[in-house]
Amino acid sequence: MELKTLALDLGVIRVLQAGDDQPYQAGWYVDPITGQRVYYDPETQNFYTMAGGVYIPLGYMNPAPKQVAIAPGEKLRITISYKYSGPAITGAIEYFCVGVYGALGFDEKLVGKNTKNLPASTTPAAYTGSYTFTMPADVGSNWDDIYCKIYNGSPSVPQNLFGYENALVIVGKDPTISEFTIADFVKV
């Protein structure tokens, strides 16, 4: 197996774009910052960990500003916001993901996508997008991380990623007894 050093710009993994002077070939790469081995698939334009999850460089994951408690069967809406300026874009992909982030990258458990057309704009215009997930009955108690990205389209939008660690608290999945104590004891 041939290992290649992954050329990163400030720790950011770039996707293939028109005019990219360093097109990545299918194969294994080493992240020079973490030493992690990742596989690049040119068909999906993603890097994958050895465990099969999409590799998200550490710079994209952030501590969550809040935690949301959610149980199986409940709905979770994730909303993104961004500003866009440039030529008209057709078919940009807004990507929403819930899963497990760890040493081997991001293990995507729930994925949702929207397609967005962006009109031409010479000044940054604000946009939002959202996706609603229904938490499945088999949700893992460790599915507590979220990441989103926007990419693709014609002409291609550069990939932008942002994620939160420990954003969710999965409740109601396992039987739980809390505040167990002896309420009283008396001679009778």
Chain segment 2-23, per-residue pLDDT in tens? 655 555 443 344 433 333 445 6
Most distant CA pair in the chain, distance: 87
Residue 181 included in any domain: no
Task: Tell me whether residue 40 is in a domain.
Answer: yes
Separation of alpha carbons 112 and 74, rounded Å: 16
3-state helix, strand, coil in the chain (%, to 5): 0, 55, 45
* Model confidence pLDDT, tens digit, residues 68-93: 999 999 999 999 999 999 999 999 99
The least confident of 28-32, 84-88, 112-116, 169-173 is: 28-32
Q: Say if 182 falls within a structural domain.
A: no
- Tell me if 163 is assigned to some domain: yes
Burial string for 68-106 (b: 16+ CB within 10 Å, else e) reads eebeeeeebebebebebeeeebeebebbbbbbbbeebbb
Residue 180 lies in a domain: no
In a domain? residue 114: yes
pLDDT in the model for residue 99 = 94
Residue 60 phi/psi, 5-degree rounding, is -95, -20
Is pLDDT of 116 > 90? yes
Q: Is residue 76 assigned to a domain?
A: yes
Give the CATH number, domain containing residue 110.
2.60.40.10
Provide the domain count of the chain.
Answer: 1
In the prediction, which pLDDT does 173 show? 79
**Mean pLDDT over the full length of the chain:** 82
Domain span including residue 166 = 3-170
Cβ neighbours for 157, distance < 8 A, ≥ 6 positions apart: 84, 89, 92, 118, 150, 151
The verdict on residue 184 lying in a domain is: no
pLDDT digits (tens, 9 = 90+) for 24-63: 778 887 765 556 677 777 777 677 777 666 666 556 788 8
